[in-house]
Amino acid sequence: MPDIPDFNNPEQNTRCGYVAIVGRPNVGKSTLLNHLLGRKLSITSRKPQTTRHTLLGLHTEGNAQAIFVDTPGIHEPSDRAINRYMVRTATSVLFDVDLVIMVIEGQRWTEEDEVVLRHVRSSNMDVYCVINKIDLMRDKELLLPYMQEVSAKTGFQEIMPISALKDDGVCELRNMILDKLPRGPHLFPADQLTDKSERFLIGEIIREKLMRRLGDELPHRQTVVIENYKLQSGVVHISAVIYVEREGQKAIVIGRKGALLKSVGQDARIDIERLIEQKVMLRLWVKVKTGWTNSDQTLKHLGYD
CATH number of 15-180: 3.40.50.300
Given pLDDT bands bounded at 50, 70 and 90, which one contains residue 47? confident
Q: 99 phi and psi, to 5 degrees?
A: -135, 150
pLDDT digits (tens, 9 = 90+) for 123-133: 888 899 999 99
- Kindly state the percentage of the chain with pLDDT values over 90: 81
- Is residue 6 pLDDT above 50, yes or no? no
pLDDT at 68: 98
Task: Give the residue range(s) of CATH 3.40.50.300 domains in the chain.
Answer: 15-180
Per-residue pLDDT tens over the stretch 132-143: 999 998 888 899
pLDDT above 90 (res 55) = yes
**pLDDT of amino acid 7:** 39
Within the chain, all domains assigned CATH 3.30.300.20 are found at 198-301
Contact 45, 29 (CB under 8 A): no
Instruction: Reply yes or no on whether the pLDDT at 305 is more than 90.
Output: no
List pLDDT tens digits, range 84-110: 999 999 999 999 999 999 999 987 899
Contacts of 40 (CB under 8 A, 6+ apart): 34
Cβ-based burial of 12 (10 A; exposed 0-12, middle 13-18, buried ≥19): middle
Beta bridge partners of 225: 241
Residue 1 has pLDDT above 50, yes or no: no
Q: What is the number of alpha carbons within 13 Å of residue 103 lying toward its C-beta?
A: 29
> Collapsing DSSP states into helix, strand and coil, what is residue 166?
coil
List, for residues 131-184, the tens digit of each pLDDT value: 999 999 888 889 999 999 999 988 887 999 999 999 999 999 999 999 999 999
Fold of 198-301: GMP Synthetase; Chain A, domain 3 (3.30.300)
**pTM for this entry:** 0.91
Q: What 3-state class would DSSP assign to 164?
A: coil
